[in-house]
Each structure stands twice: as structure tokens, then as C-alpha cells.
Amino acid sequence: MPTRPTRAVDSAVPLLLDRRDAWMEVTLNRPERLNALDATLHGELAAALDMAAADDCRAVLITGAGRGFCAGQDLAARAFGDQPPDLGASLEAHYNPLIRRIRALRKPVICAVNGVAAGAGASIALACDIVLAARSAKFIQSFARIGLVPDSGGTFFLPRLIGDARARALMLLAEPLPAETAAEWGLIWKVVDDAALMDTARTMAAHLATQPTQGLALMKDAFDASPGNSLDDQLDLERDLQRAAGRTPDYREGVSAFMEKRPARFTGQPA
Ligand code: T3D
């Protein structure tokens, strides 16, 4: 599939898209606003994720430029006239499709949280498959500070990841959660020293891009369905997903490689 050419780092463009060997790096690039999201950045991000979905890249890495990952909605873009803005319309038009796009990707999505992740910025990170965070990063459910409710899937992801008690307190108090505590609580995969974050994340993306992509996508299906399923439902789903995985060329290659005592060369191709 055609890909957009790699962009050089340029503070004039709100999103950087970098196609590496077999994976794609997406960088939110409004560092002066801690990568807060306005309509333009939403549009660019939607286009980038659509491109990543259509492209034959086999992993996606999302990160932010500068000292923040993402401060959620750009509050400077919220003008108050006689009527309050329709934030439901904003969620419908921008945030909900964004989270759905991330979750629908048929390839692993890594988030490298390079700094503060606030409001919807935190939810974006939690929507990704694997979250790495710089040791100095923090997660803030900042909605209560401005009279809003958590959105972008925050009330779905947070209690499932860390339990109701911690999720409620984080959201009602809007206290920052340091990255190390986030990892201890199971909110994210790992904390990495700040200087090592991007190398670690890129190494992981490059590794995942060599793995059995179809099987990984099916695995994501199983995790997505799990919270709403009974054990019986999940066993049935695993049966169906395993049937599909067993038909992929990568399964054949994985078994051959094992029997021949050599590294597998997965192609990520569908059955
Ligand atoms: O509206 C809808 O469509 C509904 C959807 C809502 C989704 C949401 O995400 S609502 C939540 C919106 N986000 C926030 O409320 C977070 C606001 N930001 C902060 O609370 C703090 O900036 C942080 C805790 C994230 C970081 O604090 P700190 O002290 O490290 O940085 P700072 O000095 O506050 O911010 C640095 C600059 O970024 C500053 O600009 P300046 O003064 O240097 O010119 C600040 O204004 C700007 N900035 C940070 N966050 C935002 C922002 N500008 C616009 N919108 C932001 N969200």
C-alpha cells in the first residue's frame, strides 16, 4: 500500500508521521500546548490512523513531541458565547472516533508516554495495546479540575485496569499519578528512564513488526471481548480465533521454525 512520505521534524505541522521499516511512528507535535488536541490535530490524527490501518506496516508507535505526551482537549479552542459549547458533539465527532480507530487497528499499538498525559490524553494512551512511560511522566484525570467528566473511554479503561476504588479516586480527585505508580498499579506496561524511552519503544515496535501480525490481531479481539463475556462465551471465542490463527501462513511457519530449530520468519500475511 502507498504510504505518506516520512516527514522531517517540523514544529509547523501538528502531527509527524514516520514510516520505519515495517512500522509507523506517529508523533503529536504541538509541544507549546503539551500536544493538546484541536480540530486540526484531530483531523491529522484520524488520517494518520486510517493510513496506518490501510498500510502494510505491522506495528504503530504513538508518542508526543516535547515535554508532554498530550494535555487532552485544547482549552484555548473552547470559546464561550451565549450558549455553552456542545461537548457531546465534540466527543461524537472527534474523541470517540479517535479511540475507536486506535482500538480497531489490526496491528499492535504502542504508546510511549514521554511526559504528562492529561484528560483525554491519558485515555488515548490507555487505548493503546502496550503503554511505556518515561519515569518523569504522570497521568492526570484532569476533568474534575474543569467541571467535566472523564471521556474517551477513560471510565471504561481505568476501572478495568486498576479497579474501581483507585479509578474513582483518581477521577474524583484529579490527582496526578506518577508513572512508576501507574506501572505498580497495572495501568501501564513499564516505566523506562526518560533518556531510554524512545529507543525502548522503537525497539519494541520493530520487534512486533516481525511477529505474526494476524495472530496478534486475533489476540486483541479476544482481549476486547473478554470484559463482556462469560467464561463459556470466551472459550467459544478462543476456539473460533484459534481456528482462524491456525489457518495463517505464520502458524505454519512458526511450527516449521520450531521443528527445524531456527528463528521463525513471520510475514504477517492473512490466511
Ligand atoms: O472540549 C471537548 O471537546 C470535550 C473533550 C474533552 C477532553 C479533555 O481532554 S478535557 C481535559 C482538558 N485538559 C485539561 O484540562 C488539562 C489542562 N492542562 C493542565 O492541567 C496542565 O497544563 C498540565 C497538568 C497538563 C501540565 O501542567 P504543567 O504545569 O506541566 O504545564 P502548563 O504550564 O500548565 O502548560 C504548558 C503550556 O501548555 C501552557 O501554555 P503557556 O502558558 O506556556 O503559553 C498551557 O496553557 C498549555 N496547555 C496545557 N494544557 C493545555 C494547554 N493549552 C490548551 N489546552 C490544554 N489542554
Segment 104-160, tens digit of pLDDT: 999 999 999 999 999 999 999 999 999 999 999 999 999 999 999 999 999 999 999
Residue 269 lies in a domain: no
Confidence of residue 3 (pLDDT cuts 50, 70, 90): very low
Mutation pick for ligand 1 pocket among 34, 114, 177 (CB with most ligand atoms within 8 Å): 34
What residue type is assigned to position 133 of the chain? Answer: A
141 C-alpha vs ligand 1 centroid, how far in Å?
Answer: 12
How does DSSP classify residue 15?
A: E
**166-183 per-position pLDDT tens digit:** 999 999 999 999 999 999
Examine the domain organization and report whether 57 and 174 are in the same domain.
yes
Range of the domain at 238: 213-260
The ligand 1 atom at the shortest distance from the C-alpha of residue 34 is 38
From the CB of 197, is ligand 1 less than 6 Å away?
no
How does DSSP classify residue 85?
A: P
Look at strands 68-70 and 116-118 and give their pairing. parallel
Percentage of the chain beyond pLDDT 90 is: 93
From the CB of 34, is ligand 1 less than 6 Å away?
yes
Examine the domain organization and report whether 218 and 193 are in the same domain.
no
Examine the domain organization and report whether 225 and 204 are in the same domain.
no
Residue-level pLDDT at 80: 78
Residue 265 lies in a domain: no
- For the whole model, what pTM was predicted? 0.96
**9-46 per-position pLDDT tens digit:** 456 899 999 999 999 999 999 999 999 999 999 999 99
Close Cβ partners of 81 (under 8 Å, ≥ 6 residues apart): none
Number of domains in the chain: 2
**48-98 per-position pLDDT tens digit:** 999 999 999 999 999 999 999 999 999 999 877 888 899 999 999 999 999
Residue-level pLDDT at 11: 61
Boundary of a domain, candidates 170, 193, 208:
208
Look at strands 68-70 and 130-134 and give their pairing. unpaired
Residue 270 lies in a domain: no
C-alpha cell at position 64: 508526543
Cβ density class 40-57: b for 16+ within 10 Å, e for less: ebbebbeebbebbeebeb
